[in-house]
Amino acid sequence: MKKLLTLAIIVLTMTFSTEATAQKFSGLDKSICDIAYYKTDRNSPPIIKVVYSRPLKKGRDLFGSSSLGTYGKVWRTGANESTEIQLFSDMKFGNKSIKAGTYSLFTIPGEKEWTIILNSDLNAWGSYSYKEVNDVARISVPATTADKDIDAFSIAFDDKGSMHIGWGTTRVAVPFTK
């Protein structure tokens, strides 16, 4: 009888444990969250960190008249929540001095140049609540065209600290220096 009771307790525990952990993860974001770091080497502390979501092109046209963004309008620079950039020390953004801290990163895409915006509003979804009055700094950078098509929106840093944005065949380099 004691063995039967012990077996019943084990079976019941396993049944309820399985049901409790069988959570369905429906509705997960299709745009994967990613982080880009600028470090002087793999083991050094970060100088800049960018947290963003990576929408996929999936054969669609970018900007222009698509739902993926519009030339000349403020964009969240990715998908989902507004992209955030953390500067771990005071930096130059183009030729503008920026204090260490965390900022939203917005862009205004154009065919030939992009406006890159650091804004003090944080934890916003998309660019729907964007307020120009909270811009910390803006710079314009040229947009170039590459031969290789990138399906997933991407951000990376080069060895000198410039942040590179790429999607489709569009490439933008954003200068950061100490």
Residues 119-128: tens digit of each pLDDT: 999 998 888 8
Instruction: Give the residue among 139, 138, 122, 140 at the shortest CA–CA distance from 130.
Output: 122
Separation of alpha carbons 76 and 53, rounded Å: 10
Taking the whole predicted model, whether its pTM rises above 0.75 is answered as yes
> Residue 160 phi/psi, 5° resolution?
-95, -5
Please give the pLDDT value at position 28: 73
Task: Give the strand order in the sheet containing 96-98.
Answer: 96-98, 91-93, 176-177
Q: Is the pLDDT of residue 158 over 90?
A: yes
Instruction: Give the residue among 115, 168, 111 at the shortest CA–CA distance from 141.
Output: 115
Q: Is the pLDDT of residue 38 over 70?
A: yes
Q: Could you give the maximum distance between any two Cα atoms of the chain, in Å?
A: 81
Q: Which two tokens stand for residue 91?
A: 């930096």
Residue 130, amino acid: Y
Please give the pLDDT value at position 21: 56
DSSP 116-129: EEEES--S-BTTTT
Mean pLDDT, the chain, whole residue set:
87
Please give the pLDDT value at position 58: 81
